Structure 1
Amino acid sequence: MTAFSFARFVAVLVKEFIQMRRDRITFGMMIGLPIIQLLLFGYAINSDPRYLPTLVEMNDDGPLVRAVLAGMETSTYFDFQGTVEGTAAGERALRRGDANFVVVIPHDFERDVMRGFKPEILVAADATDPTAIGGAVAAMNGIIEGAVRQTLTGPLSSLAGTAQPFSVVVHREYNPEGSTSTNIVPGLLAIILSMTMVMITAVAIVKESERGTMEMLISTPVRPFEVMLGKILPYVLVGYVQTLVFVTAAAALFAVPFDGSMLAFFIGFNLFILDNLALGFLISTAARNQMQAMQLSFFTILPSVLLSGFMFPFAGMPEWAQAIGSAVPATHFIRLVRKVMLKGAEVPDVSGEFLALTVILVVITFIAMLRYRQTLD
């Protein structure tokens, strides 16, 4: 027997290409994953978000106020979506995530400027994600200078002098120190649960199919929903343990606060765990072996990390990327966790996230049961 046979080498090579062609999921992952990463990083990811939702509390109205607000909107960092009445309404909008900024124009602002009292405009900013508001806050000095040059002309130009006739005070709420860990750690819970719950469920069910035990279930009168429910519920306990360890470590190691409703958090993470377990069950209906189940599980992690607002500001993504991100369970759970832990949110404040997680759960469950029935056939 010769040391090397070109014919044998070609036979093995051809065999591998044939096997690769048969394993369409693996081949699709090798080709599709780099393309998706290129598109997401090239088009969807933006660390300098623009057009952030902004509300105004108008306690005075005049040419200088209008010039300041026009300058803020022209900068493209701020997207004014209406007004609020009173401090409580502004705080509620920030807590619910309806706005990233609330601009408070004080009473008698124009009069105080004319009298040289140097009044202050308050900008309350949602600092749970410091990256999202960094560019907007940095642009404020230029906006003020432009408004002063535009409005205080002629006899009023002496008011500008060498110093600004008024100032803007930025109040960074919920994360005044701008700590990265305060923003990242709560969102990390969503990523950890996504990675483990989806993969554990998918691999465990596919393993049973490979061993033949799933065929025994198919031959019984057990219905698809009963199989699905019985398979995913044991892993809920795993999610409970992970969440308990995570929340304890977040408080002990990183001093991440937990200021909100425990009930809201409890409902939210249960819905999120069920979403991921149902997704794992759905993957198991498409995968033919454990390797494919792991590959498809990893594939679902990519949008959870990149399109959920975990690493990059959600508001900075284009609309098409936000639409895709809104269909990802991690997006809504990250919002829920940050609202509850950092903003002190109660159940009504996160009702929108509850609804989104429930809708996603229903859709995934419906598709999974259809796929499971097809597997039975």
Structure 2
Amino acid sequence: MSALSWTRVLAVLVKEFKQLTRDRLTYAMMLAIPVIQLTLFGYAINTEPRHLPTAVLVQEDSRYARSLIAALENSRYFDFVAEARTPSELDALLRTGQAQFAVTIPGDFSRRVARGEKPQILVEADATDPSATGGAVAALAALPDRALAHDLKGALAARGQPAAPFEVVIHRRYNPEAITAYNIVPGLLGIILSLTLVMMTALSVTRETERGTMETLLSTPLEPIEVMIGKLAPYVMVGLIQTAIILVMAASLFEVPMAGGWLGLTAGVALFITGSLALGFLISTVARSQLQAMQMSFFYILPSILLSGFMFPFRGMPAWAQWIGEVIPVTHFLRVVRGSLLKSQGIGDQWRELAALAAFVCVVTALAMARYRRTLD
């Protein structure tokens, strides 16, 4: 056995660096992933969201009502985005997710405040994600003591003492007990399908390229769409079985309420499974090895977990992160699943999310067929 030669060690070291630079995808991933993680965790993740969209139903136009709305806005937790005309319209804004909170100010609010009768205002919260509403709900505790401080002066102020001039009644809709599992478990459906279907498809097709069996497939008169359908059909069944298992376990182990909305959920699952498989096929047309396929799959899955609203409140992220999140199909699929199971949303309530998933399927399928190689390089 010869003595250790630092010259030979240096030669191997130089060779490895050259090999690393030749594999540009791996090299880029090694540099990009830490930057992406640092940026997302440092800037995009916020566990106490503010400026939450709020709808209001004002049954009287008075100074006290305007002061109350201004106090809610000044707390920086509530941004009023819509004014409903009827209770049903207010309920629809909350059910469809256009508003996180719904505030109802009764018609006799000012008169009862002036009489010292301590009226009530109703604040309804979309509590499907308890962490998204927790801070705002806590801030409501100080509202009765501060909202009308500038209006109740003199005799009115004395009449309101020592109790607060009004009460805030909070209704946590869709998840009144603030059970985290009601939010996390349905969301896991999208993450698990992404992890398995995208990566499994990408690895399966890339494996055939590495083993040489793809050359035989390419020599046949098959069209790209025929290859895609034939390759992906078995994984559709895998995705459906996974969906059934997750839903059964969610209901039996975690007691997630199955409110309904099965038609929209079925359409969402079908579109998401198809899009995930098409994305895996697209990745396989770019990757040269199974390692590259796994790296590219992870590059898609990481933002899907962090920016979709699965782990952290979606509305707590800055605007640029929300724009990126809106492009990610998992974001729209999670809204379909949670809306169906927790809110009993129908297709009419979910058409925006289903349209986004349908567009994702069309774009990715077209790109995959365009990238499909008829001959090996």
TM-score, length of structure 1 as denominator length? 0.97
Aligned residue for 1:226?
A: 226
Aligned residue for 2:170?
A: 170
Equivalence map 1:245-256=2 (5 Å): 245-256=245-256
Equivalence map 1:209-288=2 (5 Å): 209-288=209-288
Give the RMSD, CA atoms, in angstroms.
1.4
Aligned residue for 1:182?
A: 182
Q: Does 1:99 align with 2:99?
A: yes
In the alignment, residue 239 of structure 2 is paired with which amino acid? Answer: G
Once the two structures are TM-superposed, the CA of residue 341 in structure 1 deviates from its matched residue by 0.3
Gaps in structure 2 of 5+ consecutive residues: none
In the alignment, residue 344 of structure 1 is paired with which amino acid? Answer: S
In the alignment, residue 32 of structure 2 is paired with which amino acid? Answer: G
Q: For 2:175, what is the secondary structure of its paired residue?
A: coil
CA contact (8 A) 1:148 1:160 kept: no
Aligned residue for 1:205?
A: 205
CA contact (8 A) 2:187 2:338 kept: yes
Once the two structures are TM-superposed, the CA of residue 376 in structure 1 deviates from its matched residue by 5.8
2:253 and 2:228 map into 1 onto residues whose CA distance is 37
Aligned residue for 1:301?
A: 301
Once the two structures are TM-superposed, the CA of residue 370 in structure 1 deviates from its matched residue by 2.1
Runs (4+) off by over 4 Å = 373-377
1:83 and 1:72 map into 2 onto residues whose CA distance is 14
In the alignment, residue 269 of structure 1 is paired with which amino acid? Answer: V
Q: For 1:365, what is the secondary structure of its paired residue?
A: helix
In the alignment, residue 190 of structure 2 is paired with which amino acid? Answer: A
In the alignment, residue 70 of structure 1 is paired with which amino acid? Answer: A
Q: Does 1:135 align with 2:142?
A: no
Aligned residue for 1:158?
A: 158
Once the two structures are TM-superposed, the CA of residue 7 in structure 1 deviates from its matched residue by 2.4
Equivalence map 1:1-377=2 (5 Å): 1-373=1-373
Once the two structures are TM-superposed, the CA of residue 28 in structure 1 deviates from its matched residue by 1.0
Once the two structures are TM-superposed, the CA of residue 229 in structure 1 deviates from its matched residue by 2.1
Q: For 1:128, what is the secondary structure of its paired residue?
A: coil
Once the two structures are TM-superposed, the CA of residue 252 in structure 1 deviates from its matched residue by 0.8
1:73 and 1:333 map into 2 onto residues whose CA distance is 31
Once the two structures are TM-superposed, the CA of residue 145 in structure 1 deviates from its matched residue by 2.2
Q: For 1:172, what is the secondary structure of its paired residue?
A: strand
Once the two structures are TM-superposed, the CA of residue 203 in structure 1 deviates from its matched residue by 0.0
CA contact (8 A) 2:259 2:340 kept: yes
Which segment drifts farther, 28-37 or 82-91?
82-91
Structure-2 change in CA distance of 1:365 and 1:375 (3 Å): farther
Structure-2 change in CA distance of 1:374 and 1:169 (3 Å): farther
In the alignment, residue 42 of structure 1 is paired with which amino acid? Answer: G
Gaps in structure 1 of 5+ consecutive residues: none
Structure-2 change in CA distance of 1:110 and 1:374 (3 Å): farther
- For residues 13-38 of structure 1, the C-alpha deviation after alignment (integer angstroms, 9 at most, x for no partner) is 12211111111111111110000001
1:165 and 1:16 map into 2 onto residues whose CA distance is 74
- For residues 300-353 of structure 1, the C-alpha deviation after alignment (integer angstroms, 9 at most, x for no partner) is 111111000001111111111111111111100100110000011112111111
In the alignment, residue 325 of structure 1 is paired with which amino acid? Answer: G
2:375 and 2:61 map into 1 onto residues whose CA distance is 66
1:102 and 1:331 map into 2 onto residues whose CA distance is 23
- For residues 78-122 of structure 1, the C-alpha deviation after alignment (integer angstroms, 9 at most, x for no partner) is 111121122222222111111101101112111111122211100
1:141 and 1:195 map into 2 onto residues whose CA distance is 42
Q: For 2:150, what is the secondary structure of its paired residue?
A: helix
In the alignment, residue 112 of structure 1 is paired with which amino acid? Answer: R
Once the two structures are TM-superposed, the CA of residue 3 in structure 1 deviates from its matched residue by 3.5
Aligned residues: 377
In the alignment, residue 37 of structure 2 is paired with which amino acid? Answer: Q
In the alignment, residue 180 of structure 1 is paired with which amino acid? Answer: T
Q: For 2:372, what is the secondary structure of its paired residue?
A: helix
Q: For 1:248, what is the secondary structure of its paired residue?
A: helix
CA contact (8 A) 2:58 2:65 kept: no
1:155 and 1:248 map into 2 onto residues whose CA distance is 61
Q: For 2:253, what is the secondary structure of its paired residue?
A: helix
CA contact (8 A) 1:56 1:80 kept: yes
Once the two structures are TM-superposed, the CA of residue 132 in structure 1 deviates from its matched residue by 0.7
Which segment drifts farther, 222-231 or 101-110?
222-231
2:324 and 2:238 map into 1 onto residues whose CA distance is 28
CA contact (8 A) 2:144 2:165 kept: no
Q: For 2:147, what is the secondary structure of its paired residue?
A: helix
1:310 and 1:135 map into 2 onto residues whose CA distance is 18
